[in-house]
Structure 1
Amino acid sequence: MATTLPVKIEFSLPEGWQPASPDEVGAPEVAFVALHPESRDGFTANITIAGKIREDLADLVTLAEESVQRLSQAATVRVAKRNQVGTPEAPALTQTLRLSGRLRGLPLELVQSQVYLIMQDVHDPARRAVLEFTLTAKSSQFEEVQDDFKEFVRSIRPVDAPAST
């Protein structure tokens, strides 16, 4: 069953992307999936959103390394690029991974662009929401969809909780 995000956000999907049920596309560990049907060629480019509460003080590089280790269980992973971005109030990290594996017995080369964003709990600074936004595409598809992913990431905004009275 698809997860829910620990914080509320809003975003806009670029033209040509369609929401899909995480459960139906085999990604129950994420809260949101969008597919790019035009890129379908043995693999459909996709955007996912996942998030969880972290009560440890793991920095962004540690979080990114955890992702590399998790993905390494299913494919050969190489970190192509990693950059810390964002602000002190909203730190973020981007990384681009090259994945080599097999899909239905055939070799598959993927590129995964990940953006990690930390949002502090204003009431308890030890609690942090870590959001992960990911674009996964075949190497041959990546150039076609990477600008869409950048547009998507730029559209992400936190949704303020309603004021209590």
Structure 2
Amino acid sequence: MTDKISPKLKVAKPKTTRTKRPRATTSDGHYVTNDYLLPLIIEGKAAGNVLSDKLAEALMLIVQRYSFSANFVGYSFREDMVSFALVNLCANWWKFDEANYSNPFAYYTQAAFNSFLQFLASEQKQRDRRDRLLIAMGANPSYGYTDRHSTNGVRTSDETAFRAPRMED
């Protein structure tokens, strides 16, 4: 005879509790820390807003590493975005107020993020200009332009070939 388990009987599973990983007490493994940045900023401002080589390298590391985040890693012009953000940071590094704030890493990371968004907006404008010129010449624009500028937001087979707007004399 085979033993049958009653469907009413449930096997109790042991409860597992998740434990939080303890917060790191050292900064080993961090590429740039606030403890490293803050004295460099103070020294640079004391020297008359002179950007030191060490601070420039730290800013470069911040921008370089942030560009590999999932938001920006897929762009073919990622290196151009890094250059644009680095120029912005080097021009405006001295605006961090060390008297009121003690987290320059967050400040410069946010500044790099904003520079990336600014660069993406300018690239979008360039693509739209190119697509408008293509339409004026009778060619098909990119699919993204077609989707953004269609009247009802839904593309039909008729809309695959955009036509140039009539230019009246």
TM-score bracket, shorter-length normalisation? under 0.3
* TM-score under structure 1 length normalisation: 0.26
Structure (1/2) with the larger strand percentage: 1
* TM-score under structure 2 length normalisation: 0.26
Structure (1/2) with the larger helix percentage: 2
